[in-house]
Structure 1
Amino acid sequence: MTADGFTTCLWFDGQAEEAAHYYVSIFKNSGIGRIGRYNEAGPGPAGSVVAVEFTANGQSFVAVNGGPEFTFNEAVSFQILCADQEEVDHYWAGLTENGGAPGPCGWLKDRFGVSWQVIPEGLVEMLYDADPEKAARTTRAMYAMGKLDIAELKRVHAGE
């Protein structure tokens, strides 16, 4: 870890190393860093993982095995800006597999309960279009979707 920028710390209940490897397998520009293990001073069993440093999509994270006291919820989510439908499909499939859950409007939860927003480039511009009719059509279409369909959003935005 360096002193530049922010590092996001994610709290897990015994799944920190599994989660770090999972995220690294999905995102480009990713890798596992240091893995910290408890020693004989505890409080966990000596040799078990306490924390894993990793990078996902160029962002710094630390996954911590903090215990069952805290869990993830939608109050915090990560936005993934996608260049095209192929990227949307990639992240949607990877993050919902093996126990993840699709949600509305491009939101989903991965198998660890972390919330993600899979957003195609250009969506925000369509939603905030100066033409209120175009913005409203696009917003209604987005609300009706789980995984976002770029072609359909563009079609609706254009009034087709």
Structure 2
Amino acid sequence: MAAIQKITSCLWFDDQAEEAVKFYTSVFKNSKTGRVNRYGKEGYEIHGKKEGKVMTIEFWLENQGFLALNGGPEFKFSEAISFIVNCETQDEIDYYWKKLSESMDENAGVCGWLKDKFGLSWQIVPSKLADMLTDSDSEKSQNVMKALLQMKKLDIAALEKAFSSTADS
């Protein structure tokens, strides 16, 4: 029996859990699906789902476990929860931005944030961004913040340039 992850994110979908899991596992190269649980006769008066319909699907993205639930239309995703994708290169940022934002409104998103076609929020950021924003030289960190606030998809070269520039430069 495999070890159970201590904390797992459960993503509530109306009726698109299977579609969402297929999409997310196609975007992230290090991914897999796991057990599928289906609705049965028991509880129909509460859940109203047809017997045999997928209730939950386990899946992993980059060794992080998730559970997708077909729970109905009662709840929707909001920006209050987002998933951060730390990227080492601009090519990686470009890849995840393109894949996850395919059906996103072009005017949506700011500071590396986007919403995918299911309404789930993602932050596509350079791995080094946190170090730049928390640098002990406040002028450098504030320059990065100023540049960041003007971007939708993040540009590593522009952020590094902002980080390197000072009043003395």
Same fold (TM over 0.5): yes
Look up the equivalent residue of 2:72 and give its one-letter code: G
- Do the aligned partners of 1:8 and 1:61 also contact (CA within 8 Å) in 2? yes
Structure 1, unmatched stretches of 5+, are: none
Deviations 1:64-89 (A, max 9, x none): 01111111101111111111111111
Aligned residue among 50, 60, 63 for 2:65: 60
Within 5 Å, give how 1:95-134 maps onto structure 2: 95-99=100-104, 102-134=108-140
Within 5 Å, give how 1:8-157 maps onto structure 2: 8-41=9-42, 43=44, 44-99=49-104, 102-157=108-163
Query: SS state of the match for residue 75, structure 1?
Result: coil
- Do the aligned partners of 2:111 and 2:149 also contact (CA within 8 Å) in 1? yes
Larger Rg: 2
The percent of aligned pairs where both chains have the same amino acid is 47
| Cα RMSD (Å) | 1.6
Residue 147 of structure 1 deviates from its aligned partner by 0.5
Corresponding residue for 2:7?
6
Query: SS state of the match for residue 63, structure 1?
Result: strand
- Do the aligned partners of 1:142 and 1:153 also contact (CA within 8 Å) in 2? yes
Residue 5 of structure 1 deviates from its aligned partner by 2.4
Runs of 4 or more above 2 Å deviation = 1-5, 39-43, 98-102
Deviations 1:70-115 (A, max 9, x none): 1110111111111111111111111101346641101111111111
| Aligned residues between the structures | 160
Alpha-carbon distance in 1 for matches of 2:61, 2:105: 18
Structure 2, unmatched stretches of 5+, are: none
- Relative to the length of structure 2, the TM-score reads 0.88
Look up the equivalent residue of 2:58 and give its one-letter code: E
Look up the equivalent residue of 2:123 and give its one-letter code: Q
- Relative to the length of structure 1, the TM-score reads 0.93
Query: SS state of the match for residue 104, structure 1?
Result: coil
- Do the aligned partners of 1:100 and 1:110 also contact (CA within 8 Å) in 2? no
